[in-house]
């Protein structure tokens, strides 16, 4: 919600009607702004002038609302489908550049699950040639864990993305956080 407009309006002891008249905007526009509509362009300048402030004071300087950064961190884990350990490296960079503690904690949980999956994949890729040789299997056995873990990573990203949108929490996470 854009409470800055409401707070400044109330500090000036103005009603929504008075602000609408002073700014030349409709009462409905003022109500929408105070309900959370994003201020831009002409409307931003007009409201700022009417409230005797600069436009920058009406724009929220915080990080993306809620868990938007966590959603980006989660999506960046998809890079691990193409780049080895990309599902750890890119989310790690984004997480540690995040100042919001909620997004940082969600980012750490995302990194932890992908770190676990990547380590499991590495182990299985190392072991698979030995198993293949021990059982005289002609099929390249390393493909099974590779495809399975990559599919699991994709499923984790999708399920966590859906859960972040609906519940603002992760659906799939480990109980212990390594980071």
Residues of the chain with pLDDT > 90, as a percent, come to 59
Enter the pTM of the model: 0.62
> What value does the mean pLDDT take over residues 115-135?
94
Residue 1, pLDDT > 60, answer no
Q: What is the 3-state secondary structure (H, E, C) of the chain?
A: CCHHHHHHHHHCCCCHHHHHHHHCCCHHHHHHHHHCCCCCHHHHHHHHHHCCCCHHHHCCCCCCCCCHHHHHHHHHHHHHHCCCCHHHHHHHHHHHCCCCHHHHHHHHHHHHHHHHHHHHHHHHHHHHHHHHHHCCCCCCCCHHHHHHHHHHHHHHHHHHHHHHHHHCCCCCCCCCCCC
pLDDT tens profile 46-90:
998 998 888 888 876 543 457 889 999 999 999 988 998 999 999
126-158 confidence digits (pLDDT tens): 999 999 999 999 999 999 999 999 999 999 999
Mean pLDDT of the chain: 88
Residue range 24-31: mean pLDDT, rounded: 91
**Average pLDDT of the segment spanning 32-59:** 85
């Amino acid at each position: 919600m854009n409470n800055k407009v409401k707070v400044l309006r109330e500090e000036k002891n103005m009603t929504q009607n008075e602000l609408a008249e002073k700014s030349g905007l409709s009462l409905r526009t003022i109500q929408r702004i105070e309900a959370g509509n994003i201020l831009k362009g002409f409307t931003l300048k007009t409201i700022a002038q009417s409230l005797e402030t600069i436009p920058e004071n009406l724009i929220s300087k915080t990080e993306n609302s809620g868990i938007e950064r966590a959603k980006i961190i989660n999506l960046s884990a998809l890079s691990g489908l193409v780049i080895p350990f990309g599902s750890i490296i890119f989310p790690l960079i984004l997480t540690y550049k995040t100042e919001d503690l909620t997004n940082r904690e969600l980012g750490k949980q995302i990194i932890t699950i992908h770190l676990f999956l990547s380590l499991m994949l590495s182990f299985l890729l190392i072991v698979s040639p030995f198993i293949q040789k021990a059982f005289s299997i002609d099929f390249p056995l390393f493909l099974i864990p590779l495809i399975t873990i990559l599919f699991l990573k994709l499923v984790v990203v999708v399920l966590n993305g859906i859960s972040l949108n609906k519940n603002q929490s992760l659906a799939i996470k480990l109980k212990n956080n390594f980071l």
